[in-house]
C-alpha cells in the first residue's frame, strides 16, 4: 500500500465527502464509494463501474483501499471456532477468532497488536504492547473473515475481546463500531456488538454518552483490590469501587445490563468468600455475570479450578438470584480461547490457509 495514498477504508461519510469534493466530484460519490468498499468488498477502483473513468483515474493516483492477508487459519477439532492470523500492511500480525454457536456466528476482533494492561492470566498481556490498530485494520479483520465465510454464512455478532484493550484505543474502536453499524456500509445492529474492557473508568463513562446501543463487558476477575491488583495491574490506577461506579453510570445512562466477566483461577479467586463478596459487589449494579474457567497459557502457574469448585462457585451466585452461566471458551485446542491470543500460531485440528 502506497504510504502517500489516502486509505479510504476507515473514513466515515463526512470525511469521504470532503475528499470527493476536493477532487472536483459531487458529494454523492462518497455514498457510491462506501457501497463498493463495504457492501461489495471491492478495492480495485477500475472495477467501480458506476464511477466516471476520470474519477477512477484520480482515485488510482491519490487513494487506496486497504486489504489484509490471512496468513493462516486453524479450525478447532469440534468445528466451533476458527483462529485467523492476519498480516497488516506494516507486516505486523494479529489474531482474530470466529465462533459458531447454533445460529450465532461471532467474530472476536482485536483492537491492538499486543496489550499494555499486563493481566497475568492473559497471553496477549504477557507479549506486551506494540501498536494501536487503525479503524481500517479493525474493519479489515471483519471483512476478511466475511469473505472467507462466503455468501452462505455471515457474521451475526461482534465482540471486541481479541488482542488489546479496546478503550486504550478508543477513537479508532468507536469509529470502527459506527462504520460496522452504518446502514450505508455493513449495517450490523448495535446491540449485536460487545466491547470488553479491563476497567478504564473514564472511557467507560465516555462510552455511556456515545449514543450507541452496544453492550459492555467488564473484566472484573477478583473481589478485593489486593487480589485484583495482583492479577490486573490496571487496578492500581482504577480500583474496584471506581470501575463499578463507572459501569453503573454506563448501565443507568444506556438502560442496558452490564456483563461482568470473571475468570476463575484455582486458589486465587475461586473461594467461597470470593463468591459471597462478588454477590455483594453486584448488589447495586444492573448486571449479569459470566463465569469463565481459566484457559491455560504458556509462562503461567495459574490453573483452572476442578469441576466441583466451579459448580460450587456458581451455586453461591445463583442462590443469591443472579444470572451466572459458566462459559467454557471455544477453541482451546488451537489457543483461540479467552486470554490465549498471542500471535504465536499453533496448528491443531485442521488447518487452512487463504489470501484476501
108 in catalytic set: no
298 in catalytic set: no
Q: Which residues have CB under 8 Å from 122's CB, separation 6+? A: 115, 297, 339
Catalytic residue among 115, 122, 287, 338: 338
Catalytic residue among 17, 95, 137, 165: 95
Main-chain dihedrals φ then ψ at residue 182, nearest 5 degrees: -70, 125
HEC profile for the chain?
A: CCCCCEECCCCCHHHHHHHHHHCCCCCHHHHHHHHHHHHCCCCCHHHCCCCCHHHHHHHHHHEECCCCEEEEEEECCCCCEEEEEEECCCCCEEEEEEEEECCEEEEECCCEEECCCCCCCCHHHHHCEEEECCHHHHHHHHHHHHHHHCCCCCCCEEEECCCCCHHHHHHHHHHHHHHHHCCCCCCCCHHHEEEEECCCHHHHHHHHCCCCCCEEEEECCCCCHHHHHHHCHHHHCCCHHHHHHHHHHHHHHHCCCEEEEEEECCCCCCCHHHHHHHHHHHCCCCEEEEEEECCCCCCCCCCCCCHHHHHHHHHHHHHCCCCCCECCCCCHHHCCCCCCCCCCCCCCCEEECCCC
Instruction: List residues with catalytic annotation.
Output: 95, 338
Amino acid at each position: 500500500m502506497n504510504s502517500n495514498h489516502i486509505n479510504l477504508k476507515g473514513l466515515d461519510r463526512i470525511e469521504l465527502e470532503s475528499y470527493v469534493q476536493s477532487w472536483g466530484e459531487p458529494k454523492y460519490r462518497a455514498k457510491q464509494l462506501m457501497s463498493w468498499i463495504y457492501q461489495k468488498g471491492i478495492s480495485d477502483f477500475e472495477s467501480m463501474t458506476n464511477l466516471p473513468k476520470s474519477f477512477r483515474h484520480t482515485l488510482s493516483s491519490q487513494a487506496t483501499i486497504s486489504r489484509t492477508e490471512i496468513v493462516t487459519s486453524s479450525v478447532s477439532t469440534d468445528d466451533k471456532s476458527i483462529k485467523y492470523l492476519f498480516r497488516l500492511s506494516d507486516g505486523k500480525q494479529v489474531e482474530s477468532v470466529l465462533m459458531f454457536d447454533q445460529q450465532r456466528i461471532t467474530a472476536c476482533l482485536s483492537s491492538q497488536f499486543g496489550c499494555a494492561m499486563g493481566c497475568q492470566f492473559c497471553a496477549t498481556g504477557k507479549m506486551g504492547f506494540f501498536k494501536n490498530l487503525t479503524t481500517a485494520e479493525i474493519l479489515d479483520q471483519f471483512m476478511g473473515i466475511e469473505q472467507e465465510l462466503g455468501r452462505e454464512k455471515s457474521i451475526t455478532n461482534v465482540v471486541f475481546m481479541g488482542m488489546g484493550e479496546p478503550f486504550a484505543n478508543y477513537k479508532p474502536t468507536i469509529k470502527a463500531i459506527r462504520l460496522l453499524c452504518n446502514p450505508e456500509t455493513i449495517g450490523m445492529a448495535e446491540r449485536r456488538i460487545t466491547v470488553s474492557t479491563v476497567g478504564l473508568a473514564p472511557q467507560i463513562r465516555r462510552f455511556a454518552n456515545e449514543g450507541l446501543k452496544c453492550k459492555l463487558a467488564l473484566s472484573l476477575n477478583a473481589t478485593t483490590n489486593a487480589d485484583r491488583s495482583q492479577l490486573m495491574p490496571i487496578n492500581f490506577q482504577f480500583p474496584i469501587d471506581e470501575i463499578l461506579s463507572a459501569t453503573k453510570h454506563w448501565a443507568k445512562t444506556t438502560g442496558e445490563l452490564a456483563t461482568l466477566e470473571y475468570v476463575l483461577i484455582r486458589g486465587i479467586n475461586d473461594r467461597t468468600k470470593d463468591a459471597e463478596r462478588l454477590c455483594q459487589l453486584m448488589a447495586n449494579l444492573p448486571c449479569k455475570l459470566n463465569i469463565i474457567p481459566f484457559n491455560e497459557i504458556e509462562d503461567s502457574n495459574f490453573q483452572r479450578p476442578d469441576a466441583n469448585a466451579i459448580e460450587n462457585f456458581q451455586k453461591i451466585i445463583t442462590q443469591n438470584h443472579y444470572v451466572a452461566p459458566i462459559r467454557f471458551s471455544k477453541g482451546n485446542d488451537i489457543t483461540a480461547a479467552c486470554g490465549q491470543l498471542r500471535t504465536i500460531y499453533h496448528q491443531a485440528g485442521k488447518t487452512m490457509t487463504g489470501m484476501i
